[in-house]
A = this chain, B = another copy of it.
Amino acid sequence: MQREAEQQAAVFSALADPTRLKLVKLLCRQHFPDALCVKALACLLGVSQPAISQHLRVLKAIGLVKGERRGYHIHYYINRERLESCRELVSATLSMAESGKAQGCQDDCPDRRKQDV
């Protein structure tokens, strides 16, 4: 569960930035053969080109976007299967269905006796 929470948090982290969310949405709206190069994204989102490259790196790290060169430009697009799996991951993380049995204080908790409200 330790590692699980970290992996889940990593996905939430990658999406925990408004510019990155807008980036994802922009890419989502693109459909073949429309293209969005880095400069165009920078222009649309009002930040510098390196800023976009850095955001793209974060999104690539979780497999959410991919790039493909076309002439001078690199055409960035959403990995839609991964997008769906991320959607399921965040949804499942917040799903109460995964609630197991209630957990009490551990035996070695110094305040176990005080937990009786």
Over the window 69-111 of chain A, the binary record of Cβ atoms lying under 8 Å from chain B Cβ atoms (1 yes, 0 no) is 0111101000010011011001101111011111111100111
Q: Which single residue of chain B is at the shortest CB-CB distance from A90?
A: B90
Neighbouring B residues of A44 by C-beta, 8 Å: 103, 105-106, 109
Min CB distance A78 to B, Å, is: 8
Which residues of the other chain, B, contact A102 by a CB distance below 8 angstroms?
29-31, 34
Q: In the complex, what residues of B have CB within 8 A of residue A37's CB?
A: 111, 114-115, 117
**B29:A103 contact, CB within 8 angstroms:** yes
Is A51 part of the binding interface, using a Cβ–Cβ cutoff of 8 Å?
no
Chain B residue nearest to A91 (CB atoms) is B91
Q: Are B75 and A111 touching (Cβ within 8 A)? A: no
